[in-house]
Amino acid sequence: MPTVSILADNAVAGSRPKGLTAEWGFAAAIDGLLFDAGQTGVAADNAATLGVGPFETIVLSHGHYDHTTALPAFLDDATELYCHPAAFEAKYHDEEPIGMPYDRDWLAATVDVTTHSDPIEVAPGIHALGEIPREYPDSRTGTHIVDGERVDDPVWDDQSLVVETDDGIALVVGCCHAGLRNTVSYANDIFAESVTTVVGGTHLRSNDPAEIEPIVEWLAGRIERIAPTHCTGRLARRTLADAFDEDFLRVGAGSQIDL
C-alpha cells in the first residue's frame, strides 16, 4: 500500500515524533519518490526524523520558491527530476521574484532533468499529470513574462501526482493552481480508475463562501476523502470538514497517510 509522508507544510501534525518543524511550503514523499522540496530545508530534516528517503526520483508540482528552494538538500541522492518546462520561467509577485531560484542547466549538472507537458509514469504506479486543461476557473498567482510583457500567470506548469491504489486513484497535489475540479476531472479522464483521495495543497484560500462552497460540493460528489495542506484557507478547511466528516483528514508536517 503506497504511503504519503508530509515532509513540509505550514503546520506540524502533532507532538510526535519530536523535532518536526513547519514552514510556508510543501513537500511530500510517496514511498521512495519526492514530490516538491519545500523552502528552507525543513523537508530534509523532517524526512530524517521520520526515517523516509533517500530519494532517487524528484517531481516538481510547479516552479514556485516555496516548493523548490530546498532542492539542493536532496540532489546528492537524486538521479532524475521531472517537471513542466515552464517551471523554470521567471515568476513574480508585484516586483518580487517568486519562481524557482535554479535554472535547468544548473540542475542538469547534478541530476537528469526531464521536462514534460503530457502525463508520464515517474515510478511504478505513480504518474505526473503534466499540464492540466482548464474547464473550471483556476487559481492564478502572480505574473510571468509573455512577449516581453508582465501578465497574470495561470501557472501552466502546475501538475499533480496520480498514485494507483487498490481502491482507485489518489491525487497528491502541491498547490493545485490548475484548480481542484480541473485536476480531478483530468485524472478521471485519462485513467481507468476514478480519483477517490486527494492529499496536499488545494489553493482554496478565499474567504468568500460563494467561491469555496461550489468547489467543495463538487468534490464531495466525486471523491471519498481529502487531506488538505499548505495553501488551504480556514474557510475551506471548515467547509471541507463539514462536507467530508470522518473522511476529512487533519494533517500536517509529519503526517503519514496510507493510500
- Continuous H helices in the chain: 42-50, 65-68, 72-75, 104-108, 180-190, 209-220, 234-244
**77: Cβ–Cβ under 8 A, 6 or more apart, which residues?**
53, 54, 55, 56
pLDDT score at 183:
98
| Contact (CB, 8 A) for 144 and 92 | yes
Distance CA 89, CA 1 (A): 36
pLDDT score at 175:
95
pLDDT score at 75:
97
Question: In angstroms, how far is CA 91 from the centroid of its own chain?
Answer: 18
pLDDT score at 1:
80
pLDDT score at 146:
93
Locate 91 and state its grid cell: 515568476
In the sheet where 149-152 sits, what is the strand order?
Answer: 96-97, 91-93, 143-146, 149-152
**194: Cβ–Cβ under 8 A, 6 or more apart, which residues?**
168, 169, 188, 222
pLDDT score at 167:
87
Partners of 163 in the beta sheet? 126, 170
* Tens digits of pLDDT across the chain (259 residues): 899 999 999 999 988 899 999 999 999 999 999 999 999 999 999 999 999 999 999 999 999 999 999 999 999 999 999 999 999 999 999 999 999 999 999 999 999 999 999 999 999 999 999 999 999 999 999 999 999 899 999 999 999 999 999 889 999 999 999 999 999 999 999 999 999 999 999 999 999 999 999 999 999 999 999 999 999 999 999 999 999 999 999 999 999 999 9
pLDDT score at 73:
96
Q: Is the peptide bond before 72 cis (omega within 30 degrees of 0)?
A: no
pLDDT score at 36:
98
Locate 39 and state its grid cell: 523552502
| Contact (CB, 8 A) for 115 and 89 | no
